[in-house]
């Protein structure tokens, strides 16, 4: 199963035709994806299940319908256990960005964190998760596939937001401040955090 977010509403991709009575279920091969996205974006549809009996076909069919942008990003910890957040478009977010040619996704993730925050000395400790959300660029819907890594750094220098990317603040946040930031973040970002951070945010409809 996958969650593909339109704003903060997840479209579910699953192998089951029925996942709940409130869900509108549509075969992923037959769905008119642009019409569906518009309805979800307008709030006309909140519970959508796109299904195919073979799990490996779910993303394959979606990627046939939408051009994919591949990105990498980081959930970064310092020695105090604080997490690195950026502030952009009136939301707290995690640093991430689009992959460049001939770059591994790990290289992308580290470069983007460095560029957006000016944090140095990053080391990847583990792969976390891949998230999916739909965005609109130049009038066309696209699927953004972001590969997330847990990272650590001993960096204690100045944090500098990459203003040309619309970032206005970069901050280290402890556990309590991270919980507060997550109230003003994105649902797909919350998927990356350990459950104890999300006690105040029981919004995911399908586990």
Same domain, yes or no: 125 and 71: yes
Looking at every residue in the chain, the average pLDDT score rounds to 94
Chain centroid to CA 159: how far?
22
205 band by pLDDT with thresholds 50, 70 and 90 = very low
Give the model's pLDDT for residue 198: 78
pLDDT tens, position by position, 95-118? 999 999 999 999 999 999 999 999
- The bridge status of strand 123-137 relative to strand 2-6 is parallel
Does 161 lie in the same domain as 81?
yes
Based on the domain organization, do 55 and 34 belong to the same domain? yes
Share of the chain above pLDDT 90, in %: 92
Band (pLDDT 50/70/90 cuts) for residue 195 is confident
Residue 18 has pLDDT above 70, yes or no: yes
State the greatest distance between any 2 C-alpha atoms of the chain, in Å, as a whole number: 52
Indicate whether 150 and 124 sit together in one domain. Answer: yes
Instruction: Tell me the per-residue pLDDT of 21-77, one tens digit each, with 9 for 90 and over.
Output: 999 999 999 999 999 999 999 999 999 999 999 999 999 999 999 999 999 999 999
The two tokens of residue 81 are 């256990």
pLDDT at 207: 39
End position of a domain, from candidates 48, 65, 82: 65
Q: Is residue 83 part of a domain?
A: yes
Residue 27 is assigned to a structural domain of this protein: yes
Q: For residues 191 and 82, what is the distance between their CA atoms, to the nearest angstrom?
A: 18
Pairwise pLDDT comparison (47 vs 204), residue with the higher score = 47
Q: Is the pLDDT score of 147 beyond 90?
A: yes
Q: Which pLDDT score, from 0 to 100, does residue 200 have?
A: 54
For residue 171, give its domain range.
67-198
Check pLDDT > 70 for residue 170. yes
Distance CA(98)–CA(120), nearest Å, equals 19
pLDDT band at 137 (very low <50, low <70, confident <90, very high): confident
Q: Are residues 98 and 45 in the same domain?
A: no
Residues 87, 47: one domain?
Answer: no
Same domain (yes/no): 77, 12: no
Q: What is the mean pLDDT of residues 71-89?
A: 97
Q: 148-161: per-residue pLDDT in tens?
A: 999 999 999 999 99
In the predicted structure, residue 179 carries a pLDDT above the cut 70: yes
pTM for this predicted structure: 0.91
Residue 88 shares a structural domain with residue 135: yes
Same domain, 31 and 74: no
Give the chain's domain count: 2
Last residue of one domain, picked from the residues 10, 38, 65:
65
Q: How many CA atoms are closer than 13 Å to the CA of 201, on its beta-carbon side? A: 22
Q: Are residues 85 and 60 in the same domain?
A: no
pLDDT band at 203 (very low <50, low <70, confident <90, very high): very low
């Amino acid at each position: 199963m996958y969650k593909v977010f339109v704003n903060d509403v997840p479209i579910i991709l699953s192998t089951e035709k029925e996942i709940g009575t409130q869900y509108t279920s549509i075969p992923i091969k037959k769905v008119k994806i642009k019409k569906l996205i518009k309805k979800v974006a307008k709030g006309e549809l909140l519970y959508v299940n796109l299904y195919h009996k073979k799990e490996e076909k779910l993303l394959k069919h979606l990627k046939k319908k939408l051009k994919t942008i591949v990105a990498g990003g980081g959930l970064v910890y310092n020695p105090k256990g604080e997490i690195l957040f950026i502030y952009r478009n009136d939301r707290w977010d995690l640093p991430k960005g689009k992959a460049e040619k001939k770059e591994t996704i790990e290289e992308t993730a580290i470069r983007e964190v460095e560029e957006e925050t000016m944090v140095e000395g990053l080391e990847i400790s583990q792969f976390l998760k891949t998230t999916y959300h739909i965005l609109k660029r130049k009038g066309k819907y696209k699927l953004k596939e972001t590969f997330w890594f847990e990272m650590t750094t001993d960096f204690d220098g100045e944090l500098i937001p990459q203003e040309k990317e619309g970032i206005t603040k970069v901050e280290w946040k402890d556990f309590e401040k991270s919980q507060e930031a997550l109230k003003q973040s994105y649902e797909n970002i919350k998927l990356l955090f350990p459950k104890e951070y999300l006690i105040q945010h029981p919004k995911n409809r399908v586990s």
